[in-house]
Amino acid sequence: MKVLIVGGVAGGASAAARLRRLDENAEIILFERGEHISFANCGLPYYIGDVIAEREKLLVTTPDTMRERFRVDVRTLHEVMSIDPKGHRVRVRNYQDGQEYEETYDKLILSPGANPIKPPLPGIESGRVFTLRSIPDTDAIKGYVTEHRPQRAVVVGGGFIGLEMAENLLQMGMQVDLVELAPQVMTTIDREMAAFVHEHLREKGVNLHLNNGVAGFTEQPDGSILVAVNQGGPLPADLVVLAIGVRPDSRLAREAGLQVSSSGAIVVNRRLQTSHPDIYALGDAIEVEDFVTGRRGPIPLAGPANKQGRIAANNIVGIEEEYQGTQGTAIVKVFDLVVASTGNSERILRSAGVPFESIIIHPGSHAGYYPGALPMTIKLIFAPDTGKILGAQIVGYDGVDKRIDVLATAIRFGGTVFDLQGLELAYAPPFSSAKDPNNMAGYVAGNVINGHMPIAHWGDVESMRNDGAFILDVRDPIETEMGAIDGAVNIPVAELRSRLSEVPKDRPVLVYCAVGLRAYVAVRVLSNHGYTQVKNLSGGFKTYDTITRDLAAVGSGPSPDGSGGGSKETAAALEPLTEVGPSAPAAEQPELVLDACGLQCPGPIMQVFGKMKSMNPGQILRVKATDPGFARDISAWCSRTGNNLLDSGREKDAFYAVVQKGDPGLKAISGSTAKAPAAANEDKTIVVFSGDLDKAIASFIIANGAAAMGRKVTMFFTFWGLNVLRRPENLAIKKPLLDKMFGAMMPRGSSRLQLSKMNMGGIGAKLIRKVMQDKNVDSLEALIGQAKLAGIRLVACQMSMDVMGIRPEELIDGVEIGGVASYLAAAEESNVNLFI
Ligand code: FAD
């Protein structure tokens, strides 16, 4: 059997090797019009950026290896010019000697790939405008960069190749403008997921021009080029990379009369045979079945091309195998971020008319208590009735690849969200959590399907508000200082049961927290109390905040001077928020360092506050945290507390902020959003009457939050609340019988408190503690310790102690004993006075 193969890279080389392994006697000729076969297309941007230092590393297999190991007749610099399907022959041009000749075949495999799209725009043929597909393209860009040392690059197209090029060019020191016609980069993921990518690109200094198209290119006499865009002024550049997609290279097939689709891709059956059964086609040139919807179209990716090469070879030697379709699993590194997707996005499903539901979660890459855990955002899309997984998207820093691969496998095996719940995945603290993010995605989606947790999406907020929904924010008060949904009412989840009267029963209720977990608890509390129109905002405030800020940034469009909203935002983010004016020379005050890695909001902010209390005005604190929300939170916190954020950003595996302690004596610069430190009547008092665990936690979270905002806080413990302050040890104190009995019946200290509701014989309290620990929320004991460090006055009511027979030595250290007068005196200085 004589087999000819057209194209010697991903699909073609794979088919040739498989054929030889299956048939030692076949005559195999591989034609490649370029100089190289089997090179690493996917590595090209990284070679340009010097991440891959040696050019040879790109050449995965050489023609010599193919000849020696597989006895394949490799003919590089040979282009197949035409096919005669009836005569089973092809016409070939040999670029080495300029001659043309014919070659016959029994079977022909076409793997000619795709060509970069180059629309007929004015100036597109300029030598300063490049596309990237092959090694010569790479050499051309690399040569140009070496020779001309460009300072400014415009990348057109926000797909995988455009993003990889933007990263590599920027890291070579160029200013990069990225122009994308769509309102988002990476159209394989949905809009809110792309918002995380936009944010990261802007942080890194890429000037994003979304919703904007390129209109033409004009070379300038000084060697630069002006890129005309549809909105805003032209973008000056020294180098342009065009990466707006590829078109299947189906010329040969079309001219040979083979069937070609309207999208220009070669039509094949599941055995990868074209409309002529002796001609097979594969890779970027063909139309494939979408594995999820069954719709046909080109999906140009390396994995499918390689697999199809193998399948075509199998079928040629008589091993019947069908290609099952492509689900588009893809992953890309965008600076520090990893973005991955598999299956279909909402956009594709909507256009295909497929019903779907989706959830968003923000789990950690591994156990939060083990160093280096970083959050990721997972979007899971599934059939609303059966839970069959239709698509998944992940944006994160670490562990994204393995999560997307598990989800891709689940899709391939027809898995449902319920199957995800049962997956037993490798766990030890450095790698994952006992419930892996994919298990969690399954649980959350399962709760949606079985009705335990009705959800709304970020896009529903406006319409729900217009429909009169009550928007309930169940985060801790300190978190609301870093932003909240307009019109939301803040009732921390721990207080919800005691404040149900504030939540209307006759209106829809949209509940949210930071990421969706506490809101889930709140949804359950409300549902169990007879609320019937309650929904959890999927992905929580983190998703809502990211997408709304991004929509605002994109909406503002490019500035008249041609620079994108991105660069401005980046610059603004790095500006100090208040005037930098240390009250003492910096040299006299040592810089302090705080490592808040592994803690989730509001943990890092609480730690910053605690540390700054002991610092002098003007002194500098360098903080490291792994919570990516920290950069934004610290900025809001500083502006409200009169401290100065000198710098913030990301280094290696953590976020950092440099904060200078503010000086009440310094004036904030005009226009600054900074507030002066707390005025005298901004103190807070809290009467802690309850000895329930949840209420005690809520009290201390509020108290610590207020203290973190610089307010003076007094907590007055009376009656059952005194139990919070009791020592856990059983002290041998002589007491009258009644006092002894009282003491024995009441919980001794914070660790023995019970939940006010759903206590379930103490299991509820244990559960809450476990959940808090898993989520890195401080325990009640830690909150009490922080309160003491923050200088919060803990006052035990003398009268209640007498009544309940509690002696001063039974209380923990640092507690004052006071009468109602000391409470009232504090209350008079306060503008908030809570009774819990
Ligand atoms: P190709 O690998 O392009 O091979 C086609 C070959 O056929 C070409 O070398 C061409 O010269 C030759 N040819 C065409 N016509 C003729 C003819 N008439 N005669 C002789 N030879 C001919 N995919 C991923 O999955 N992940 C990634 O990270 C990724 N990154 C990429 C980065 C870049 C910069 C590029 C360009 C592509 C990337 N891809 C990636 C896509 C992936 O490389 C392609 O999907 C894959 O190479 C397609 O394989 P193929 O065999 O169809 O075509």
Report DSSP letters for 527-584, one per residue: HHTT--SEEEETTHHHHHHHHHHHHHHHHT---TTS--HHHHHHHHHHS-SS----SS
* CA atoms within 13 A of residue 152's CA, in its CB half-sphere: 13
Question: Does the pLDDT of residue 669 top 70, yes or no?
Answer: no
* Span from the CA of 167 to the centroid of ligand 1 (angstroms): 21
- The dihedrals phi and psi of 55, each to the nearest 5 degrees, come to -60, -35
Cβ-based neighbour number of residue 315 at 10 Å: 20
What percentage of the chain exceeds 70 in pLDDT?
93
Please confirm, yes or no, whether 42 is among the known catalytic residues. yes
Cα 25 from Cα 41, distance rounded (Å): 31
- The dihedrals phi and psi of 2, each to the nearest 5 degrees, come to -115, 120
**Ligand 1, atom 32, residue with closest C-alpha:** 42
Q: Is the dihedral of CA 162, 164, 170, 172 positive or negative?
A: negative
In this structure, are strands 357-361 and 376-382 parallel, antiparallel, or unpaired? antiparallel
* Span from the CA of 89 to the centroid of ligand 1 (angstroms): 24
Question: Does the pLDDT of residue 546 top 80, yes or no?
Answer: yes
Cα 161 from Cα 178, distance rounded (Å): 12
Cβ-based neighbour number of residue 328 at 10 Å: 23
Ligand 1: does its nearest atom lie under 6 Å from the Cβ of 111? Answer: yes
**Ligand 1, atom 39, residue with closest C-alpha:** 42
Q: Which of 41, 73, 287, 311 to mutate to test the pocket of ligand 1 (most atoms within 8 A of CB)?
A: 41
**Ligand 1, atom 53, residue with closest C-alpha:** 113
Ligand 1: does its nearest atom lie under 6 Å from the Cβ of 42? Answer: yes
Q: Which atom of ligand 1 is nearest to the CA of 7?
A: 7
Buried/exposed code over 630-655 (b: 16+ C-beta within 10 A; e: otherwise): bbbbbbbbbbbbbbbbbebebeeebb
pLDDT of residue 664: 53
* Span from the CA of 443 to the centroid of ligand 1 (angstroms): 40
Question: What is the pTM assigned to this prediction?
Answer: 0.73
pLDDT of residue 551: 94
Question: Does the pLDDT of residue 582 top 80, yes or no?
Answer: no
pLDDT digits (tens, 9 = 90+) for 482-539: 889 999 999 999 999 999 999 999 999 999 999 999 999 999 999 999 999 999 999 9
pLDDT of residue 372: 87
Ligand 1: does its nearest atom lie under 6 Å from the Cβ of 283? Answer: yes
Cα 696 to Cα 640, 748, 775: the distances in Å are 27, 14, 18
Mean pLDDT (the chain) is 89
* Higher-scoring residue by pLDDT: 835, 672: 835
Q: Determine which of 89-103, 364-378, 476-490, 773-787 has the lowest per-residue pLDDT on average.
A: 773-787
Ligand 1: does its nearest atom lie under 6 Å from the Cβ of 12? Answer: yes
- H helices of 271-399, in order, are 302-316, 346-352
Cα 178 from Cα 192, distance rounded (Å): 19
Mean pLDDT, range 682-709, rounded to an integer: 89
Would you list the DSSP string of 91-113?
A: EEEETTT--EEEEE-SEEEE---
Ligand 1: does its nearest atom lie under 6 Å from the Cβ of 308? Answer: no
pLDDT of residue 588: 57
Ligand 1: does its nearest atom lie under 6 Å from the Cβ of 300? Answer: yes
* Span from the CA of 168 to the centroid of ligand 1 (angstroms): 20
Mean pLDDT, range 565-573, rounded to an integer: 28
Q: Which of 4, 5, 9 to mutate to test the pocket of ligand 1 (most atoms within 8 A of CB)?
A: 9
* Span from the CA of 236 to the centroid of ligand 1 (angstroms): 31
Mean pLDDT, range 402-426, rounded to an integer: 98
* Span from the CA of 11 to the centroid of ligand 1 (angstroms): 8
Ligand 1: does its nearest atom lie under 6 Å from the Cβ of 112? Answer: yes
Cα 20 from Cα 137, distance rounded (Å): 31
Place of tokens 């803040």: 490
* Higher-scoring residue by pLDDT: 140, 663: 140
- The dihedrals phi and psi of 169, each to the nearest 5 degrees, come to -70, -40
* Span from the CA of 105 to the centroid of ligand 1 (angstroms): 24
Ligand 1: does its nearest atom lie under 6 Å from the Cβ of 45? Answer: yes
Q: Determine which of 88-102, 171-185, 237-251, 698-712 has the lowest per-residue pLDDT on average.
A: 698-712
Q: Which atom of ligand 1 is nearest to the CA of 303?
A: 25
Cα 42 from Cα 44, distance rounded (Å): 6
Q: Determine which of 101-105, 147-151, 161-165, 576-580 has the lowest per-residue pLDDT on average.
A: 576-580
**Ligand 1, atom 46, residue with closest C-alpha:** 302
* Span from the CA of 12 to the centroid of ligand 1 (angstroms): 10
Q: Determine which of 446-450, 620-624, 827-831 has the lowest per-residue pLDDT on average.
A: 827-831
- Catalytic entry in 42, 513, 597, 797: 42
DSSP H or E segment with residue 647: strand 644-651
pLDDT digits (tens, 9 = 90+) for 14-70: 999 999 999 999 999 999 999 999 888 899 999 999 999 888 889 888 999 999 999
Ligand 1: does its nearest atom lie under 6 Å from the Cβ of 33? Answer: yes
Question: Does the pLDDT of residue 574 top 50, yes or no?
Answer: no
Mean pLDDT, range 700-723, rounded to an integer: 88
What would the 3-class secondary structure string for 294-308 be?
CCEECCCCHHHHHHH
Ligand 1: does its nearest atom lie under 6 Å from the Cβ of 249? Answer: yes
**Ligand 1, atom 12, residue with closest C-alpha:** 7
**Ligand 1, atom 35, residue with closest C-alpha:** 41
Instruction: Yes or no: say if 58 and 45 are a contact pair by the CB < 8 Å rule.
Output: no
Ligand 1: does its nearest atom lie under 6 Å from the Cβ of 272? Answer: no
Question: Does the pLDDT of residue 541 top 90, yes or no?
Answer: yes
